[in-house]
Chain A
Amino acid sequence: MDKIISEEGVNVTKIATREAYGRALVELGRQDERIVVLDADLSKSTMTAFFAAEFPERFFNMGIAEQSLMGTAAGLALSGKIPFASTFAVFATGRAYEPVRNAIAYPRVNVKIAATHAGLTVGEDGASHQAVEDIALMRAIPNMTVVVPADASETRQAVQAIAAYDGPVYLRLGRPAVPRIYDESYSFHLGKAHQLRPGRDAAIIACGYMVNEALQAADELLAEGISAMVLNMSTIKPLDREAVLAAAATGVVVTAEEHSIIGGLGSAVAELLATTRPTPMAMVGISDSFGESGKPAELMQKYNLTAEAIKAAVKRLKSI
Chain B
Amino acid sequence: MIIDYQELTTIARRLRRHIISMVGAAGSGHPGGSLSAVEIVVSLYFGVMRLDPERPDWPQRDRFVLSKGHAAPVLYAALAERGYFPVEKLNTLRQLGSPLQGHPDRKALPGVEVSTGSLGHGLTVANGMALAARLDKADYRVYVLLGDGELQEGMGWEGAMAAAHYKLDNLTAIIDHNHLQIDGAVEEVMSPEPLAEKFRAFGWETRTIDGHDFSQIMAALQWARQVQGKPAVIIAETVKGKGVSFMENQAGWHGKAPKAEEVERALAELGD
Residues of A within 8 A of B (CB): 2, 39, 41-45, 61-65, 67-68, 90-91, 94-95, 123-129, 292-295, 298-299, 302
Q: List 11 A-B contacts (CB under 8 A).
A: A41-B149, A41-B152, A42-B182, A44-B182, A62-B190, A63-B190, A91-B118, A124-B94, A125-B103, A293-B95, A294-B95
Query: Which B residues are CB-close (under 8 A) to A91?
Result: 118
Bound Cα distance from A90 to B97, whole angstroms: 22
Question: Residue on B with the closest CB to A65?
Answer: B152
B57 in the interface, Cβ–Cβ < 8 Å?
no
Q: Which of A41, A63, A64, A126 has the most CB of B within 10 A?
A: A64
Contact string against A for B residues 80-112, beta-carbon threshold 8 Å, 1 for contact and 0 otherwise: 000000000000001111100111010000000
Contact string against A for B residues 251-266, beta-carbon threshold 8 Å, 1 for contact and 0 otherwise: 0000010000000000
**Are B189 and A61 closer than 8 Å at their CB atoms?**
yes
Query: Which A residues are CB-close (under 8 A) to B182?
Result: 41-42, 44-45
Query: Which B residues are CB-close (under 8 A) to A294?
Result: 94-97
Shortest CB-to-CB span from B104 to chain A, Å, is 9
Question: Residue on B with the closest CB to A2?
Answer: B256
**Are A295 and B190 closer than 8 Å at their CB atoms?**
no
Residues of B within 8 A of A (CB): 26-29, 69, 94-98, 101-103, 105, 115-120, 149-150, 152-155, 181-183, 189-190, 192, 256
**Are A95 and B118 closer than 8 Å at their CB atoms?**
yes
Task: Given the known inter-chain contacts A42-B183, A293-B98, please indicate yes or no for A126 contacting B105, CB distance below 8 A.
Answer: yes
**Are A41 and B183 closer than 8 Å at their CB atoms?**
yes
Shortest CB-to-CB span from B74 to chain A, Å, is 17
Bound Cα distance from A65 to B26, whole angstroms: 29
**Are A292 and B190 closer than 8 Å at their CB atoms?**
no
**Are B189 and A124 closer than 8 Å at their CB atoms?**
no
Bound Cα distance from A124 to B101, whole angstroms: 8
Task: Given the known inter-chain contacts A124-B29, A129-B117, please indicate yes or no for A43 contacting B103, CB distance below 8 A.
Answer: no
Query: Which B residues are CB-close (under 8 A) to A128?
Result: 69, 102-103, 115-118
Contact of A293 among B102, B116, B192 (CB under 8 A): B102
Shortest CB-to-CB span from B17 to chain A, Å, is 21
**Are B118 and A126 closer than 8 Å at their CB atoms?**
no
- Chain B interface helix/strand/loop/mixed: loop
Query: Which A residues are CB-close (under 8 A) to B95?
Result: 293-294
**Are B150 and A127 closer than 8 Å at their CB atoms?**
no
**Are A293 and B94 closer than 8 Å at their CB atoms?**
yes
Query: Which A residues are CB-close (under 8 A) to B102?
Result: 124-126, 128-129, 293
**Are A292 and B96 closer than 8 Å at their CB atoms?**
yes
Query: Which A residues are CB-close (under 8 A) to B118?
Result: 90-91, 94-95, 128
Bound Cα distance from A63 to B190, whole angstroms: 5
Q: Which of A125, A294, A302 has the most CB of B within 10 A?
A: A125
Contact of B150 among A64, A126, A302 (CB under 8 A): A64
Query: Which B residues are CB-close (under 8 A) to A295?
Result: 96
Task: Given the known inter-chain contacts A41-B149, A42-B183, A65-B154, please indicate yes or no for A292 contacting B189, CB distance below 8 A.
Answer: no
Query: Which B residues are CB-close (under 8 A) to A63?
Result: 149, 152, 181, 189-190, 192
Question: Residue on B with the closest CB to A43?
Answer: B183
Task: Given the known inter-chain contacts A41-B182, A42-B183, A91-B118, please indicate yes or no for A127 contacting B149, CB distance below 8 A.
Answer: no
Contact of A64 among B29, B98, B120, B256 (CB under 8 A): B120
Query: Which A residues are CB-close (under 8 A) to B152?
Result: 41, 62-65
**Are B96 and A298 closer than 8 Å at their CB atoms?**
yes
Question: Residue on B with the closest CB to A52?
Answer: B183
**Are B105 and A65 closer than 8 Å at their CB atoms?**
no
Query: Which A residues are CB-close (under 8 A) to B105?
Result: 126-127
Shortest CB-to-CB span from A298 to chain B, Å, is 5
Question: Residue on A with the closest CB to B147?
Answer: A64
Question: Residue on A with the closest CB to B72?
Answer: A126
Bound Cα distance from A94 to B256, whole angstroms: 25
Bound Cα distance from A65 to B152, whole angstroms: 6
Query: Which B residues are CB-close (under 8 A) to A129?
Result: 102-103, 117
Bound Cα distance from A178 to B41, whole angstroms: 40
In the complex, besides A95-B120, A124-B102, 18 extra interface pairs with C-beta distance below 8 angstroms are A2-B256, A41-B149, A41-B152, A41-B182, A44-B183, A63-B149, A63-B181, A63-B192, A64-B120, A64-B152, A123-B28, A125-B117, A126-B102, A127-B101, A128-B115, A292-B101, A293-B98, A293-B102
Bound Cα distance from A193 to B7, whole angstroms: 65
Bound Cα distance from A43 to B153, whole angstroms: 17
Bound Cα distance from A2 to B255, whole angstroms: 10
Task: Given the known inter-chain contacts A64-B181, A65-B190, A293-B96, please indicate yes or no for A126 contacting B149, CB distance below 8 A.
Answer: no
**Are A68 and B154 closer than 8 Å at their CB atoms?**
yes
**Are B153 and A65 closer than 8 Å at their CB atoms?**
yes
Contact of B101 among A45, A293, A298 (CB under 8 A): A293
Bound Cα distance from A122 to B198, whole angstroms: 36
Question: Residue on B with the closest CB to A40?
Answer: B152
Query: Which A residues are CB-close (under 8 A) to B256?
Result: 2
Bound Cα distance from A62 to B182, whole angstroms: 12
**Are A67 and B96 closer than 8 Å at their CB atoms?**
no
Task: Given the known inter-chain contacts A41-B181, A41-B182, please indicate yes or no for A126 contacting B190, CB distance below 8 A.
Answer: no
Query: Which A residues are CB-close (under 8 A) to B155?
Result: 95
Bound Cα distance from A125 to B119, whole angstroms: 14
Question: Residue on B with the closest CB to A64?
Answer: B152
